[in-house]
Amino acid sequence: MTTVTCTNVTLPLAVVFILGVLAVFFRRVNKFTQVAWDVLRGEYSVAAPSLPSGPRKTPPGTVVPTSVNYHFTRQCNYRCGFCFHTAKTSFVLPLDTAKKGLRLLVEAGMEKVNFSGGEPFIKDRGRYVGELVRFCKCELGLPSVSIVSNGSLITEDWFGKYGEWLDILAISCDSFDEETNRRIGRHQTGKDHLRCLRQVRTWCQQYKVAFKINSVVNRHNIVEDMSSEIMELNPIRWKVFQCLLIGGENAGPAALRNAEDMVITDQEFDQFVRRHEQVTCLVPESNEKMRDSYLILDEYMRFLDCRNGRKEPSRSLLDVGVKGAIQFSGFDEKMFFKRGGKYTWSKADLQLDW
């Protein structure tokens, strides 16, 4: 019989094997006994571990999609010369697929979603965006859901169906002169853009939706003073953007628009901002602040990196997940917070001063 020698004691190999098995067995019994005792004392849980309380720790280099702009359609009934998401395709995700992507974003930390286009109300006469608004608020419990629209296709019936779930509605208005709006391309035959703006503002008041105005400062409106009209309309925020060139969209040979003759200098933008500094809701955003500080999803749910003056898409988050897609977004989180990207954006927390 084979034997093993240990500390001057010679034992048969079979005995060593049996002793080893018994040692393992008793260690496991002891562990089981300890766990059972802890359960009885209430100090050990056999359920799934609870999530840590407080803010989540983000690993270095990980981007949290706190606020996402989802441009789910490129179609629009206006032809604004500076548009940076032009009608290169009519593709729109099936509603259920879009909902799946939005759920993934919430699981990754999204707190606010903004639906944009194109014109978001052009798809199914507003039903598509309305159902997304309802889903994000009712099923996903998002703190903030907003829309950016030109306002021309919105109806009171839409507010009656979906208004209670919408936190903020932003209407684009670059001038309070209709001729200037026509030169910019913000018009449609038979529609008065300024009348639509005021009508939507009234509906926002009636249906308790926060009203916001977005304006793009360009060569056609650079000398205009919009102060009195903005203060009269009293939006919660007046976002003022500097006209931005994006290759392949509003600049270059492959673009559907040409905004090169609409671009203004940084100094001209600063002059426009100073002219309106008495407007308390003014939120100016220069090209420097804008370019890298927005998380933009296109119609395929791809993040768009605009750092090089073009839109360079990631793979769709529907294929590679949020983490796999967002690392190619070019997003500058520090600039997002620096420009005031996170603010009081839920109407439950807003003091709507009508």
Task: Say if residue 159 is exposed, middle or buried (CB neighbours under 10 Å; 0-12, 13-18, 19+).
Answer: buried
Spatial contact of 194 and 173, defined as CB atoms under 8 Å apart: yes
Indicate which residue of 6, 83, 173, 243 is catalytic: 83
What is the enclosing helix (H) or strand (E) of 139?
none
Query: Exposure pattern of 244-264 as b/e (b: 16+ CB <10 Å)?
Result: bbbbbbbbeeebebebeebbb
Query: Exposure pattern of 197-221 as b/e (b: 16+ CB <10 Å)?
Result: bebbbebbeebebbbbbbbbbbbbb
Let me know if 196 is a catalytic residue. no
Indicate which residue of 76, 173, 196, 204 is catalytic: 76
Interatomic CA distance for residues 232 and 214, integer angstroms: 15
Let me know if 306 is a catalytic residue. no
Rg of the chain taking only CA atoms, in angstroms: 29
Find tokens 């944009």 and name the residue: 116
Spatial contact of 88 and 121, defined as CB atoms under 8 Å apart: no
Beta bridge partners of 70: 115, 297
Indicate which residue of 6, 80, 136, 138 is catalytic: 80
Let me know if 83 is a catalytic residue. yes
Dihedral sign (CA 155, 193, 296, 203): negative
Give catalytic residues, as residue numbers.
Answer: 76, 80, 83
